[in-house]
Amino acid sequence: MTDRPTVLSGIQPSGDLHLGNYLGAVRHWVAGQELSDSLFCIVNLHAITVSQPPEELRQKTVELAAMYMACGIDPKTSLIFVQSEVPAHAELAWLLTCMTPMGWLERMTQYKDKTAGKRGERLGAGILMYPVLMAADILLYQADEVPVGDDQRQHLELARDLAMRFNHAFGDTFTVPTARIPPPEAGGRIMSLVNPEQKMSKSQPEGCVFLNDPPELTRRKIMRAQTDSAASFSLAQAGPGIRNLLGIYSGVTSMSFADAVSLFEGKGYGAIKASVADAVVAAVAPIQEAYRALMAEPEALEEMLRAGAQRARERADATLAVAYDNTGLLPPKSKWQGNG
Ligand code: TYM
């Protein structure tokens, strides 16, 4: 169809977009969209692996679509759609589930972290099956590249393994995707501001800058960021907290990490934090403005999502039909069902 690579990625609408999502994923989606055939999904079926209040889930789904666009995803260039609008995701996930060894899933680090110390009676099985659904998201569109943060590395390995396993068992069906993960200091792993040993995550909001935080709150969070006790910055002695701040600075200004290091070498930590805060506030201001404008026109957003889902369904259904056929299931539109 095209010689541009097919790129697919997604984010769960289970909270607000934060700097980790932006610097680890969305910024790179925006940078690559002109040169690729890109699809960006709002993965609401992933979000329900933990319980979500229905009204909030609906609202966050639309908000995330607006955020994708506010960050620079152009729906004329890239396809934006909601996962649950394309039934083939759940259907392919079942095919893949049946050929995924349980041990592979039980060994996933995120699964182990999320279930540690919890009793099985209280956990939905979706937590275990989650990476298979993610593989289905990717394989349905024959994605060549999947731009994600470092925390998704193991899930991408599984998607590759499943593609190869399926192709081996049933003949060439899926493209084997490649993960595109930025190095940690180029945004691949943005750390929590209150605990730089842990990744920035919405589950720890004090250590997390949300793109929609008001400027004063963003400044306060960054000024309070945990750093080591040195008086001035020197890369040789820098701990993870100050390195993380420099990574954030380099991400939001598009300056290389090395240039950011030279800029701040010898400067005091208070001054560095103030510069990082200024840079983050300046970078998110236009995003917040665009977001407000998009949210003021909900019909246009819904129309964009409707059109996106339609196009995504066509592409996904074509792959699913081949996967069904190769597996020995009657293809979804076969004459056996009376509508082929
Ligand atoms: P999710 O919703 O947790 O995160 C969305 C994206 O943000 C990246 N990210 C980070 N990057 C750097 N530093 C951080 N602190 C940080 N926190 C989050 C994530 O790596 C991700 O790229 N399973 C996925 C969603 C998904 C998906 C897919 C992704 C479902 N299907 C298909 C790609 C392709 C997830 O939960 O991401």
Phi then psi for residue 79, to 5 deg, are -95, 120
Residue 191 lies in a domain: no
Mean pLDDT score, 77-99: 98
Mean pLDDT score, 101-127: 91
The pLDDT value recorded for residue 340 is 44
Q: Is the pLDDT of residue 24 over 80?
A: yes
Tell whether 33 and 175 lie within a shared domain.
Answer: yes
Tell whether 79 and 135 lie within a shared domain.
Answer: yes
CA 82 to chain CA mean position, Å: 13
Q: Is the pLDDT of residue 63 over 90?
A: yes
Tell whether 156 and 305 lie within a shared domain.
Answer: yes
Q: Which of 17, 49, 151 to mutate to test the pocket of ligand 1 (most atoms within 8 A of CB)?
A: 151
% of residues, the chain, pLDDT over 90: 91
Q: Is the pLDDT of residue 333 over 70?
A: no
Residue 165 lies in a domain: yes
Tell whether 319 and 274 lie within a shared domain.
Answer: no
Residue 190 lies in a domain: no
Tell whether 175 and 215 lie within a shared domain.
Answer: no
Smallest Cα–Cα separation from 190: which of 228, 246, 239?
A: 246
Count of beta carbons in the 10 Å neighbourhood of residue 14: 20
- pLDDT band for position 263 (cuts 50, 70, 90): very high
Q: For residue range 162-217, what is the model confidence (pLDDT) as tens digits?
A: 999 999 999 999 999 999 999 988 899 999 999 999 999 999 999 999 999 999 99
Tell whether 273 and 240 lie within a shared domain.
Answer: yes
Residue 60 lies in a domain: yes
The pLDDT value recorded for residue 335 is 57
Q: For residue range 211-256, what is the model confidence (pLDDT) as tens digits?
A: 999 999 999 999 999 999 888 999 999 999 999 999 999 999 999 9
Does ligand 1 come within 6 angstroms of the Cβ of 208? no
Domain of 40: which CATH number?
3.40.50.620
What are the angstrom distances between the C-alpha of 297 and each of 41, 66, 186? Answer: 20, 10, 34
Tell whether 128 and 22 lie within a shared domain.
Answer: yes
CA distance 220 to 222: 5
Q: What's the 112 CA to ligand 1 centre distance in angstroms?
A: 17
Q: What's the 242 CA to ligand 1 centre distance in angstroms?
A: 24
Q: For residue range 318-328, what is the model confidence (pLDDT) as tens digits?
A: 999 999 999 99
Q: For residue range 132-170, what is the model confidence (pLDDT) as tens digits?
A: 999 999 999 999 999 999 999 999 999 999 999 999 999
The pLDDT value recorded for residue 122 is 82
Does ligand 1 come within 6 angstroms of the Cβ of 135? no
The pLDDT value recorded for residue 338 is 57
More confident residue, 192 or 332: 192
Residue 91 lies in a domain: yes
Tell whether 330 and 236 lie within a shared domain.
Answer: no
Residue 198 lies in a domain: no
Residue 192 lies in a domain: no
Tell whether 71 and 111 lie within a shared domain.
Answer: yes
Does ligand 1 come within 6 angstroms of the Cβ of 43? yes
Catalogue the active-site residues: 114, 199, 202
Mean pLDDT score, 279-305: 98
Q: What mean pLDDT, rounded, does the chain reach?
A: 95
Smallest Cα–Cα separation from 155: which of 100, 92, 83, 85?
A: 100
Q: Is the pLDDT of residue 272 over 80?
A: yes
What is the count of structural domains for the chain? 2
Tell whether 124 and 271 lie within a shared domain.
Answer: no
Q: Is the pLDDT of residue 120 over 90?
A: no
Mean pLDDT score, 92-102: 98
CA distance 305 to 85: 9
Count of beta carbons in the 10 Å neighbourhood of residue 266: 8
Tell whether 129 and 259 lie within a shared domain.
Answer: no
Q: Which residues contact 28 (CB under 8 A, 6 or more apart)?
A: 147, 180, 182, 187
Q: Is the pLDDT of residue 2 over 90?
A: no
Tell whether 17 and 146 lie within a shared domain.
Answer: yes
Smallest Cα–Cα separation from 148: which of 140, 157, 35, 192?
A: 157
Residue 140 lies in a domain: yes
Atom of ligand 1 nearest to the CA of 46: 30
Range of the domain at 153: 6-183+297-337
The pLDDT value recorded for residue 186 is 87
